[in-house]
Structure 1
Amino acid sequence: MSNIEVAPPPSPYGASTLTRVALIGAALVFALAVSALAGARYGALLLIGLGFGATLEGLRFGFAGPWRRMIVDRNPDGLLGHLLSIGLVALVAFPLLATHGQELIGAHAPIGFAMVGGAFVFGLSMQLVMGCGSGTLVNAGSGNPIGLLALPFFAIGSFLGAFNLIWWTNLGALPVIALDGTDGLILTLAGLAAVAALALWLAPPEHRRIQRRYVIAAVLLAGLAVLNLIVAGQPWGVVYGLGLWVAKGATSVGLPTEASAFWSLPPNQDRIAESLLTDVTSLTNLGIIAGAFLITAWRGGFAQKLPSYPAKAWASAIVAGLALGYSSRIAFGCNVGAFFSGISTGSLHGWAWFAAAFAGSAVGVKLRPKLGLGG
């Protein structure tokens, strides 16, 4: 079932001009409504999320697909785009964190047994559904049936992973180690350059380049990520917001979250009680879904027939969705929160996450044919 990773082709004519105007108007009204209800800062975060979703969907710039191409075809173009974008963010984030440490925080987390194992499972699972954290949001927004099915189970898995997070971290972890200052920035850029050089060395001559659209996407994502850091006060993330949605749902039906060492923490209880419109991660997540929806509708992509998948593929999407959510929570993030934001703000756990998740992806690629998901 190789077509699981390819979005249905858009209408050759795209949406009508009236529809496109209406889509832009609806996005602006959505952002203005959030600004009116919660404040201009939160309206701005929604617009940043819309930008993330529109860029990822509009330029077909995800994480699972490029990693798969590197593993299967030794084609590093998408991975080079990731490294470029991370490096651009680091160039701005390191000085910002050094001079505004009271207002801004980095995506810093400890390296531990659960973190490494969780990253490995996440890398494996994202190849099964061809979507990471942001990719699952984009796939759902663009109408991909596997993405639509995986997203709620991803959220449930994130909630459950957070429920047990303290237990997992108690298995053993190093102190948080973060690079900072000019030396930290130089080491980070050197590490990114070394990975890029290795990827190019492993690639055949015809693949030793990067597509223009990936360069454009890398620059746009870097700009949006820096804006997110400044406006939200923290780096771009995905996983916490998804778990929070389930935590709020559980509380609304009378299920206690106080039994969890994580969800019972006062800041988390406050977020459960407050509106989603004031949670920065939830807003950008909603924006990603809306941005992907806007681009797909703009192209007329919803006019296509839904593909049919074997039952084994649907079951795999459910299990992989749960695994994505759970593993990313105990690994302190997904491709966005750990790999992208972790490395770009100096956290060594981002590098450990990258190595473990890439190894897991290699296993996931081999599992796909056995689960009816194509080669």
Structure 2
Amino acid sequence: MTTTPTTPVGKTDEVDRPVESSPALSLRWRPTLSVPPPRAPEAEPVRWWPLAVALIGALGLAAFVWSEHGAMPATLLVLGLGLGFTLFHSRFGFTSAWRQLLAVGNGTGLRAHAVLLGTTATLFALVIGTGTGLFGNEPGPSAGPIGIALFAGAFLFGIGMQLGGACASGTLFAVGSGQSAILITLFGFIVGSVIYSAAWPLVADLPSVPPVLLSDHVGWGGSWAITIAALVAMVVISRVVQNRRVPPPVGAPPSAQGWARVLRGSWPLIAGALLLAMLGSAVLLVSGGPWGITSAFNLWGAKALQLVGLQPENWAFWTQPGQAEQLAGPVLQDKNSLTNIGIILGAAAAAAAAGTWKVHTGLSWNLVAAGLAGGVLMGIGARLAGGCNIGAYLAGISSGSLHGWLWAVFALAGTWAGLRARSLFGLGVPKPSDSVC
């Protein structure tokens, strides 16, 4: 049996509200008698206007991209729609999974990560190992150098996740589902990416060693076997930690019943993990590269600067051959931009169909400040590390790259620091009864 995501309807798993104060992060819970979770209440009525806007916008944009840029970009946009739809319904998160592991010892979310990583690693081994690609693209793994930039970037990203209330993928689907607070985090994400590209000459030559890919040493079969063994160990360790700390029980989220649950309800975490693995691997199959998110934020920031008359194209970062080509091209030809836009629209359609789409107002100063600071840290951290929870953690580990595992270790350390840094903004530790997905 799998666990059902437990985020209240109208909230994403990544948004840290409500909170309770805990100056020392001393979350020790006494075991209680086990009682069945309450039956999930019925879902809210469909929000027809937001649903119509999201669907018409998605279909119109897909048709435009197809006519202007071809079938491959349009396909990537459609895959993004599927990713956003899946992220919303499964509330599949990274911020909350690591937070719950460290705060109360609940490893449910981390075990869902293992399913996502193991399934993606299997599909990556099949696609890359056989050289199977569409649109003339040759699929390749995600491998990054190992050094100070990776360690510092992942650590900063971990802090930023807990301050901003969302990871990279969580930011996008939260924005799409109407979570206005996360717009602040997204803005900070873009600002942090721009800061990195402006300061790139200062960090371009930090000490590092070349990437380490298991497939270069033991082939794709051996790489897959080692990755799966490591993930099994991760599952066992998380279970041992959870058994020692006994997290409190949680209730069920509002959800449609029966077949209506597919379009209007919450999904089991495992279902989300499997679908995300398939859709993410389809991005590899279509584009030749793994699913990524944060490089698009850097591009969006540079394009915005150009609109106001500035010239980021003259910065050292954007004069590199690959980066210069990216900046000179249209946003709707950029792989990560297409999937990002698709995630926002897909989550908007899913939230409207579930009856939960709503623009939230009345933000307090501390939530705004924490969201902005967290976004900036994640923007800088993702660029330093060469990826985020998707581009480095998911794609790296699934590719059999050592940098993906090291990113996870340092991001987990950053999560620990980020939980404590919340008190600087007058925020407590999110309640353990919040979503664990």
* TM-score between the two structures when normalised by the length of structure 1: 0.91
- 5+ unaligned residues in a row in structure 1: which ranges? none
Give the corresponding residue for 1:27: 58
Q: Is the Cα contact below 8 Å between 2:176 and 2:344 reproduced in 1?
A: yes
Alignment of 1:5 onto 2:16: yes
Give the corresponding residue for 1:147: 182
| Runs of 4+ deviating beyond 4 Å | 16-23, 205-209
- 5+ unaligned residues in a row in structure 2: which ranges? 1-10, 19-40, 253-266, 430-437
Counterpart among 61, 65, 69 of residue 92 in structure 2? 61
The structure whose residues are more often helix, as a share, is 1
Change (3 A) 1:21 1:144: closer
Give the % identical residues: 34
- d(CA) in 2 for partners of 1:169 and 1:115? 12
Deviation of 1:367 after TM superposition, in Å, equals 2.2
Give the corresponding residue for 2:120: 89
Q: Is the Cα contact below 8 Å between 2:54 and 2:346 reproduced in 1?
A: no
Deviations 1:259-280 (CA, angstroms, capped at 9, x unpaired) = 4332111222122121111100
Q: Is the Cα contact below 8 Å between 1:137 and 1:288 reproduced in 2?
A: yes
Alignment of 1:123 onto 2:158: yes
- d(CA) in 1 for partners of 2:405 and 2:326? 29
Deviations 1:138-193 (CA, angstroms, capped at 9, x unpaired) = 22212212211111220121132234345424120011111112111111111111
Change (3 A) 1:57 1:129: same
Deviation of 1:373 after TM superposition, in Å, equals 2.6
- d(CA) in 2 for partners of 1:216 and 1:11? 21
Give the corresponding residue for 1:198: 237
Change (3 A) 1:67 1:262: same
Give the corresponding residue for 2:384: 330
Change (3 A) 1:17 1:316: closer
Q: Which moved more, 1:19-28 or 1:242-251?
A: 19-28
Counterpart among 70, 76, 79 of residue 101 in structure 2? 70
What pairs with 1:149-298 in structure 2 (closer than 5 Å)?
A: 149-165=184-200, 167-180=202-215, 181-204=220-243, 213-298=268-353
Give the corresponding residue for 1:138: 173
Aligned residues: 369
Q: Is the Cα contact below 8 Å between 2:294 and 2:383 reproduced in 1?
A: yes
* TM-score between the two structures when normalised by the length of structure 2: 0.78
Change (3 A) 1:73 1:318: same
Q: Is the Cα contact below 8 Å between 2:192 and 2:379 reproduced in 1?
A: yes
Q: Is the Cα contact below 8 Å between 1:103 and 1:233 reproduced in 2?
A: yes
Deviation of 1:27 after TM superposition, in Å, equals 2.7
RMSD: 2.6
Q: Is the Cα contact below 8 Å between 1:248 and 1:273 reproduced in 2?
A: no
Q: Is the Cα contact below 8 Å between 1:225 and 1:236 reproduced in 2?
A: yes
- Matched letter for residue 228 of structure 2: L
Q: Is the Cα contact below 8 Å between 2:386 and 2:392 reproduced in 1?
A: yes
- d(CA) in 2 for partners of 1:283 and 1:255? 24
Q: Which moved more, 1:99-108 or 1:13-22?
A: 13-22
Higher-Rg member (1/2)? 2
- d(CA) in 2 for partners of 1:129 and 1:322? 9
Q: Is the Cα contact below 8 Å between 1:162 and 1:330 reproduced in 2?
A: no
Give the corresponding residue for 2:79: 48
- d(CA) in 2 for partners of 1:229 and 1:115? 23
Deviations 1:52-94 (CA, angstroms, capped at 9, x unpaired) = 1111111111110111111112111111111111111111212
- d(CA) in 1 for partners of 2:301 and 2:248? 43
Q: Is the Cα contact below 8 Å between 1:127 and 1:365 reproduced in 2?
A: yes
Q: Which moved more, 1:254-263 or 1:182-191?
A: 254-263
- d(CA) in 2 for partners of 1:11 and 1:288? 26
